[in-house]
Amino acid sequence: MNKKLTKTIWIINDYAGSPSHGMTYRHYYMAKELQKKGVNPIIISASFSHFFNNYPPIKEQSYLTEMVDKIEYLWINVIKYKNSRDKKRVWKWFQFSFKLFTLPKNLQKPDMILCSGSAPMLVIPSYYLAKKYHAKLIFEIRDIWPLTLMNFKGYSKYNPLIYLMQKSVNFGFKHADHIISVLPNTDKYIQEQGIYNFNFTYLPNGIFLEELENPSPLTNSVQAQIPKDKFIVGYTGAMGMGDGLDLLIDVAKELEEISKIHFILVGKGSEKERLKARIKNLKLHNITIINAIPKKEVQSMLKEFDTCYIGWEDKSIYKYGISANKIFDYMYSEKPIIHLFSGKGDLISKAGCGLTIDQHKSSLITEAILELFHSSKERRKAMGIRGKSFVLKYHTYSKITDKFLDIFTAKKKSQKAIYLSRN
């Protein structure tokens, strides 16, 4: 890529974090790579997120500019809420969106605006800003809203909030200069909305090599919680609805007589306390829950596992694909992966780096764990090597950002979606 580029990109995402603050990291990694390629990224995020561990030092002011690892962040002051289910979270979406109309005038003017908020309404003020500054508008889809709420929470499409979300999303589909998504089949969803005149690029999640090549060691207190001389089935990440962790607990119960197999769950989330209570009620001693660890320690934790687990519920929304960050962390660790999945775009099968179970039955998870437990170390190692090769070939943020910069020179809307890669 041309390192003499002097373009400025505004990245608008009300959940954009950093290693200093906590999840989410996608746009922090992209910003680091953009800087290497001569682009000036400015991340516009909210002062509060339930994913954050540390918060920006914003007080009564509406906006705060802060340099985070040489990246300029503009924090927008928003209401705090208790957890992901708190209704105040919805008010935060509106508050953040409205404040985008009155951003500080001293910000470097953008050549491109990347709108990537979890709140679908963000695309409307983002469109206004793009018109104001004659900038190209990129609409990024990380989750398919409001379909996610309809699939997991059972909301009707006639619910006023759902209706507003759908109208906002469709507005973005119609008016953005380019649509990108971490999900490979999002273009199919757009067409299902009756929209065909758009440019589309599949731009998945991935790995930031600088971070993974130099992991921090686990603390002594965390290391002490990991049993020795066991076959470890491990999970890292959010413990929320839809992660298939109840089924993993069922499997732990089935396999409690095999003393050499142990389960470890690492992370936090809305379901964590309930899962801990369930493990206690079942009197299981072959499963350990460890509190969330810093991102820089994740690879050190994965080295302790013999196989990694990731699960999804059997929901129709997964026909558009998946792109969980933990998949790429798992692949880089060279560990075989047990994948509970029944949708489209199965990266584990594509890479040949593990075992995919296409039905949500605990007996099949048990069989997969026992298969790997009885497999040779050479077979498990071969799976792991294939995973690492795959993630290095397709999913480094350097390569992802190169594809993103290609959008600078992409034409305006065409009658045919653009596919830079589906792997």
pLDDT tens-digit map of 175-190: 999 999 999 999 999 9
**Can you give the pLDDT at residue 421?**
39
| Cβ atoms of residues 208 and 29 within 8 Å | yes
Q: Per residue in 178-226, pLDDT tens?
A: 999 999 999 999 999 999 999 999 999 999 999 999 999 999 999 999 9
In a domain, 414, yes or no: no
Q: Is the pLDDT of residue 360 over 80?
A: no
In a domain, 415, yes or no: no
- 337-340 vs 307-311, strand pairing mode: parallel
Rounded to 10 degrees, what is the CA torsion of 371, 377, 380, 383? Answer: -150
341-373 as b/e, with b when 16 or more CB fall inside 10 Å?
Answer: bbbebbbbeebebbbbbeebebebbbebbeebb
Residues 153 and 40 in one domain: yes
Residues 242 and 342 in one domain: yes
Residues 384 and 400 in one domain: no
In a domain, 417, yes or no: no
Q: Per residue in 52-78, pLDDT tens?
A: 889 999 988 999 999 999 999 999 999
**Can you give the pLDDT at residue 413?**
56
Q: Per residue in 96-107, pLDDT tens?
A: 999 999 999 999
Residues 357 and 404 in one domain: no
Lowest mean pLDDT among 51-60, 280-289, 372-381: 51-60
Cα(190)–Cα(419) distance, integer angstroms: 14
**Can you give the pLDDT at residue 248?**
93
Residues 176 and 241 in one domain: no
In a domain, 418, yes or no: no
**Can you give the pLDDT at residue 415?**
39
In a domain, 420, yes or no: no
Grade residue 153 by pLDDT with cuts at 50, 70 and 90.
Answer: confident
Kindly report the pTM of this predicted structure.
0.89
In a domain, 343, yes or no: yes
Residues 183 and 40 in one domain: yes
**Can you give the pLDDT at residue 44?**
98
**Can you give the pLDDT at residue 394?**
94
Q: Per residue in 107-118, pLDDT tens?
A: 999 999 999 977
Most confident of 289-298, 320-329, 356-365, 376-385: 376-385
* Full domain range(s) for residue 351: 210-394
Residues 159 and 223 in one domain: no
Q: Is the pLDDT of residue 417 over 70?
A: no
How does the average pLDDT of the chain come out, rounded? 91
Residues 222 and 187 in one domain: no
Q: What is the mean pLDDT of residues 145-161?
A: 81
In a domain, 276, yes or no: yes
Q: What is the mean pLDDT of residues 359-384?
A: 91
In a domain, 286, yes or no: yes
Grade residue 146 by pLDDT with cuts at 50, 70 and 90.
Answer: confident
Q: Per residue in 13-61, pLDDT tens?
A: 999 999 889 888 999 999 999 999 999 999 999 999 988 889 999 988 9
Query: What CATH number did the domain enclosing 214 receive?
Result: 3.40.50.2000
Q: How many C-beta neighbours within 10 Å does residue 98 have?
A: 12
Q: Is the pLDDT of residue 293 over 60?
A: yes
Cα(2)–Cα(34) distance, integer angstroms: 11
Q: Is the pLDDT of residue 418 over 70?
A: no
Q: Is the pLDDT of residue 85 over 90?
A: no
Residues 299 and 364 in one domain: yes
User: Percentage of the chain surpassing pLDDT 70?
Assistant: 94
**Can you give the pLDDT at residue 315?**
83
Most confident of 146-150, 265-269, 396-400: 396-400
**Can you give the pLDDT at residue 411?**
62
CA–CA–CA angle 166, 170, 174 (5° rounding): 175
Q: How many C-beta neighbours within 10 Å does residue 306 have?
A: 19
Residues 237 and 166 in one domain: no
Residues 171 and 46 in one domain: yes
**Can you give the pLDDT at residue 4?**
54
Q: Is the pLDDT of residue 1 over 50?
A: no
Residues 35 and 174 in one domain: yes
Give start and end residues of each alpha helix (H) in 142-230: 147-153, 160-175, 186-192, 209-212, 220-223
Q: How many domains does the chain have?
A: 2
Q: Is the pLDDT of residue 330 over 80?
A: yes
Secondary structure of residue 138 in the 3-state scheme? strand
Secondary structure of residue 212 in the 3-state scheme? helix
Lowest mean pLDDT among 3-12, 255-264, 341-350, 364-373: 3-12
Grade residue 314 by pLDDT with cuts at 50, 70 and 90.
Answer: confident
